[in-house]
Structure formats: C-alpha cells, structure tokens
Amino acid sequence: MKIILLGAPGAGKGTVAKLLTEADGSVQISTGDILRAAVKEGTELGKQAKGFMDRGDLVPDSLIMDIMGVRLKEKDCEKGFILDGFPRTIPQAEALKKLMENLNIRLDFVVNLEVPRDVILDRLTTRRTCSNADCQEIYNIKSNPPNADGTCKKCGSPTIQRDDETEEAILNRLEVYNQKTAPLIGFYEKEGLLKNFLSISSKDTVEAIKAALKG
C-alpha cells in the first residue's frame, strides 16, 4: 500500500499506521523520524537539517522534501509506505505531488481519520508516555495503563503526561490543525484521492482501510 494518513492530534494516526505496517510489510514514515535519521547518519542533508534544528528554527520545506525523496527511494519502500502526519500544509502537499510524479510513485489514496473532539480530548488527556528517551512507550490510563506505580511496563522508567497533552494545550493544537492542516482534506478531495474513515476503534479502522485497498 502507498497511502497518506491525515487526522487531528489524537486521531490515532500512529496506532493505525503501526497496525497497517504489520499487515503487509509497508513502512511507516514520519518527518520527525526521517529528519532524526538523516542527522544521526550525518548525511549532507542531515547536516543542513541539524543546523536549523540546533538554532531552534523550522526545517524548510525544500530540505524536508529532499530528505523525503531520498527516503522514498530506499529499498524498504518498494513494498509500500504510509506517510504519517505528512504533509501538514498545502505547499507541502503540492511539493509532495511533484516529488511523487518525478519518482513515478502513485498513491492508493489518502486516509482522513475522523474522530469526535470529545474522544480526542479523552484520548490525549489520559495518555502517558515513558520518560525514557530510548523507550517512549505510550500508555492510556483507562484502556492501556502503565504499572500500578506509574512506571513503564517495558523498561520500568516513570511515565509522564507531556506538556502538550493537557486540555489547554490539546485545544490549542486542534486549533492549529484546523487552521493549517485541515485544508489538506479539500486539496486531496479535489485530487480524487480522499477517503474518510471514522476512527473510534483503531482495529476497526485498519480493517476498513484494508477493505478499501482491495477495492
């Protein structure tokens, strides 16, 4: 499969992407992951990205697209890929369209995960993350709690509520999403690529996406 995953913070993009990769061997790609990998590998593009990141500046779209182009040409993308949370803006979507045309890559479709706001708030305010930078396992105190003492089941480190997962921060993130990323829904609708999926249960959503891929 070759798909893009869209959805507000807390829509379950990461979980859905992980389940889909397990289904057919496609790879999950996020801009954060490919930027960190390029920096770690010390590639020329990675060095450029590191300069921006060290200054606390946003990495320019042109550089992100160059790094994305390198990633999509890697062998593990031949089976398929899932772009998780990218693109985020219309200019990125337009640049990605050109990149894929140049690489002769055809998307199956674009998944838009639809989740009611109250569900998103409940998901994110109850989320806890392992504080160990090498682990960062995610829990939910209702549906998938950490150990009774609040420690991670995998590594034993304390779990924390991230600063961007308080109710006030989440409402702000949703507002930013509505302003900057939600317009992508219209963009991909015009391209004839958009498919909407109600995402209350990640497993049900994955089954619906797999069924849509089979046509």
What is the total count of domains within the chain? 1
Has residue 83 been placed in a domain?
Answer: yes
Confidence label for 197 from pLDDT (cuts 50, 70 and 90): very high
Has residue 187 been placed in a domain?
Answer: yes
Has residue 67 been placed in a domain?
Answer: no
Has residue 182 been placed in a domain?
Answer: yes
Has residue 39 been placed in a domain?
Answer: no
Question: In the sheet that 109-114 helps form, which strands lie side by side, from edge to edge?
Answer: 27-29, 81-84, 2-7, 109-114, 194-198
Question: What are the tens digits of pLDDT across the range 96-154?
Answer: 999 999 999 999 999 999 999 899 888 889 999 999 989 999 999 998 999 999 999 99
Confidence label for 53 from pLDDT (cuts 50, 70 and 90): confident
pLDDT number for residue 24? 87
CATH of residue 200's domain is: 3.40.50.300
pLDDT number for residue 16? 92
Has residue 89 been placed in a domain?
Answer: yes
Has residue 136 been placed in a domain?
Answer: no
Active site residues: 13, 88, 127, 162, 173
Domain enclosing residue 13, as ranges: 2-26+79-115+178-214
pLDDT number for residue 160? 96
Non-local CB neighbours of 46 within 8 Å, separated by 6+ positions? 35, 37, 38, 39, 40, 67
pLDDT number for residue 181? 80
- Helix and strand tally (H, E) in the chain? 9, 8
Query: Amino acid identity, residue 199?
Result: S
Non-local CB neighbours of 102 within 8 Å, separated by 6+ positions? 69
- Which helix (DSSP H) or strand (DSSP E) does residue 82 occupy? strand 81-84
Non-local CB neighbours of 58 within 8 Å, separated by 6+ positions? 52
Has residue 190 been placed in a domain?
Answer: yes
